[in-house]
């Protein structure tokens, strides 16, 4: 029997494992990096051991430190969660060599499936050699052999781009996994990502717990998952489950694992890989079958036998991943304080609580919201409504994108969605949020209500008061969040809105404003989070959705400007590489990749905004930058196309801060 379990992970999955341990009466030990010293998984564990440092390579990827932590804390078992060392055979062997119970498959089974190329050969599929590809092989998907989660993955449609994409994939794979091996496979446009959950014991029983559909992805990373895979022909579902069981038996698998397939539009299934661990999306299978996969993992690790057959599935389950990111601007990760996280009515798996900080060192996943209902339509409706009514206060998130996705007509049709969904609809799904104007009115009136009322009596009517906001972030389109200007009068009878016919203020308090819009009254809950010396944020939660605003200063500082062609960091992160040939004085074409930033396990490409000359470069690999840090300046070619000689512009501050020229314009409204 396992008495004390060390969870060799962090965040949401660590909290998930801790929850099951609490239910089973198993004591727990957490490990943490320095940025995670106060994290939720540390607070919820019975004991915690520090892993000195911040980078994963120095902390959560140090198997020797984790084994030592388990021994020091008196743990007798280790659960790896997902990611980090969960599919590392050497770590599994080290755990067992230390006399600890490994909650996972045998190291030999991990090894058999650890490399995607070896796994494909085991399943009778020949991976493609990128060096031998011809035009006839295109399009292909270049992938990291040792990777996952979209890292080291590139779509190649043009043979001339192959060498560059392979080099980029190798560089990213080496950085993420310590292994630069890549391979290629046919790129199936319009395919569905379908997987099968398996669970096996050491007594010969292997369960196939049905299918999951994970086709809704951004940057090759999953966003919405559901079980069972909708619209899949029963014969095909049975075939995939049988193939998954054969794969598990072939390598002597025990514990939980997932076999992944790509299903083409014609119904042809292509084996992708086997993940020898628990998947992020495992809650939809738990809801569908009424099981606790973590509890079953622990029981299998203790030597227990599974029943001959799994429970019967019931209903339908849908999961949405809530990320701290801005979908309208390339899914750029966001940082800051999470002030509130409340998604009522559905299961919520998270590694954060109100007041926690969201940093730059790990991925942007905040939580997973899961709905289960008798039918798919009911489950989707419940999840969309729960997210719409949720209180998620803090940095910008993809919440609005999730709600719109769940309500999209194509998603409503079972089996219609494929991996190209966001390529087709992202612009529409990130358009300015409806109702933002009324929410901005509520924000302005709540702020006004928090201040004292009007002073002395006036003989003439006063000019309207004005309040301006930027936002909501995450739904303002690629040109940035929209600006909202609210003009109002404060009278002895309440508030009046001279610019908004059809809108009447029913009541206004610092935390709640009720507006009558064309005869329909709706409440707007307003919560302001001021920042000393800054604008802070205002969150407005309404029955029709939520909005996040940033108050704009009444007198903008004209010094808040940058030189033309300045490239500022869109997020905090680390410069991982600079493109070959990019240096001060180099000439570049519009759209050429200049450098890559890594933040929250994702790489973001920074490109030249126009053809011109690189007149400043403040990016070198390994440099940590904050939002708005000056990375480079590309001085555009003048009209007529004659390039200017390279020179260092006055705006290029070597400190890396954006240029701040002396103000010359008088302040205005």
Question: Which residues are catalytic, by number?
Answer: 277
- Rounded to whole angstroms, the Cα distance separating 535 from 555 reads 12
Q: Which residues contact 565 (CB under 8 A, 6 or more apart)?
A: 609, 610, 612, 615, 633, 634, 635, 636
Q: Other CB atoms closer than 10 Å to residue 134's CB: what's the count?
A: 7
Q: Other CB atoms closer than 10 Å to residue 307's CB: what's the count?
A: 9
Half-sphere exposure (Cβ direction) of 171: Cα atoms closer than 13 Å: 18
Q: Other CB atoms closer than 10 Å to residue 543's CB: what's the count?
A: 12
Take residue 180 and report the two structure tokens written for it. Answer: 């630069």
Q: Which residues contact 233 (CB under 8 A, 6 or more apart)?
A: 267
Take residue 547 and report the two structure tokens written for it. Answer: 């909005």
Do 60 and 42 touch, CB atoms closer than 8 A?
no
Do 184 and 159 touch, CB atoms closer than 8 A?
no
Pairing of strands 494-496, 365-373: unpaired
Q: Which residues contact 521 (CB under 8 A, 6 or more apart)?
A: 506, 514, 515
- Rounded to whole angstroms, the Cα distance separating 378 from 384 reads 10
Pairing of strands 316-323, 269-275: unpaired
φ, ψ at 337 (rounded to 5°): -95, 130
Do 354 and 592 touch, CB atoms closer than 8 A?
no
């Amino acid at each position: 029997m396992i008495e004390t379990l060390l969870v060799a992970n962090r965040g949401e999955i660590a909290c998930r494992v801790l929850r099951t341990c609490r239910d089973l009466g198993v004591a727990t030990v957490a490990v943490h990096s320095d940025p995670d010293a106060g994290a939720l998984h540390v607070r919820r564990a019975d004991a915690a051991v520090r892993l000195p440092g911040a980078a994963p390579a120095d902390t959560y990827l140090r198997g020797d430190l984790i084994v030592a932590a388990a021994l020091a804390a008196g743990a007798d078992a280790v659960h790896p969660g997902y990611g980090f060392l969960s599919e590392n055979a050497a770590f599994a062997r080290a755990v067992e060599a230390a006399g600890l119970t490994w909650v996972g498959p045998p190291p030999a089974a991990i090894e058999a499936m650890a490399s995607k190329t070896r796994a494909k050969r085991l399943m009778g599929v020949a991976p493609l050699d990128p060096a031998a590809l011809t035009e006839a092989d295109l399009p292909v998907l270049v992938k990291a052999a040792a990777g996952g989660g979209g890292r080291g993955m590139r779509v190649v449609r043009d043979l001339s781009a192959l060498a560059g994409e392979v080099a980029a994939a190798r560089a990213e794979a080496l950085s993420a996994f310590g292994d630069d091996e890549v391979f290629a496979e046919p790129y199936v446009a319009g395919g569905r990502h379908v997987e099968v959950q398996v669970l096996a014991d050491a007594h010969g029983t292997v369960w196939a717990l049905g299918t999951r559909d994970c086709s809704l992805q951004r940057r090759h990373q999953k966003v919405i998952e559901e079980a069972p895979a909708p619209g899949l022909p029963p014969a095909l579902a049975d075939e995939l489950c049988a193939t998954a069981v054969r794969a598990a038996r072939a390598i002597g698998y025990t514990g939980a694992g997932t076999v992944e397939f790509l299903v083409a539009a014609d119904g042809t299934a292509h084996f992708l890989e086997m993940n020898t661990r628990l998947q992020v999306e495992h809650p939809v299978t738990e809801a569908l079958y009424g099981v606790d996969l973590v509890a079953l993992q622990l029981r299998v690790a203790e030597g227990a036998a599974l029943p001959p057959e799994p429970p019967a599935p019931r209903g339908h389950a849908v999961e949405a991943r809530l990320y701290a990111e801005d979908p309208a601007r390339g899914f750029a990760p966001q940082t800051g304080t999470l002030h509130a996280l409340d998604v009522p009515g559905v299961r919520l798996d998270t590694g954060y609580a109100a007041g926690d900080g969201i940093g730059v060192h790990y991925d942007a996943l905040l939580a997973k919201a899961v709905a289960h209902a008798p039918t798919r339509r009911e489950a989707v409706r419940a999840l969309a409504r729960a997210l719409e009514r949720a209180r998620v206060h803090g940095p910008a998130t993809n919440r609005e994108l999730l709600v719109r996705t769940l309500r999209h007509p194509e998603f409503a049709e079972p089996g219609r969605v494929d991996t190209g969904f966001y390529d087709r609809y992202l612009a529409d799904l990130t358009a300015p949020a409806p109702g933002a104007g009324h929410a901005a009115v509520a924000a302005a009136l709540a702020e006004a209500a928090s201040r004292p009322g009007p002073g002395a009596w006036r003989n003439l009517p006063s000019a309207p008061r004005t309040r301006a906001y930027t936002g909501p972030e995450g739904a303002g389109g690629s040109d940035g969040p929209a600006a909202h200007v609210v003009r109002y009068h404060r009278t002895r009878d309440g508030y009046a809105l001279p610019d908004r016919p059809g809108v009447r203020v029913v009541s206004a308090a610092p935390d709640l404003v009720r507006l009558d819009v064309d005869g329909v009254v709706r409440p707007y809950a307003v919560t302001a989070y001021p920042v000393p010396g800054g604008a802070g944020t205002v969150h407005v939660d309404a029955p029709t959705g939520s909005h996040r605003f940033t108050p704009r200063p009444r007198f903008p500082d004209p010094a808040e400007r940058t030189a033309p062609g300045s490239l500022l960091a869109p997020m905090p992160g680390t410069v991982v590489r600079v493109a070959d040939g990019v240096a001060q004085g180099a000439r570049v074409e519009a759209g050429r990749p200049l450098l890559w930033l890594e933040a929250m396990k994702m790489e973001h490409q920074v490109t030249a905004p126009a053809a011109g000359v690189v007149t400043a470069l403040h990016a070198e690999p390994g440099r940590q930058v904050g939002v708005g840090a000056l990375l480079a300046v590309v001085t555009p070619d003048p009209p007529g196309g004659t390039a200017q000689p390279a020179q260092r512009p006055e705006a290029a501050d070597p400190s890396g801060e954006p240029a701040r020229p002396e103000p010359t314009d008088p302040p205005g409204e």
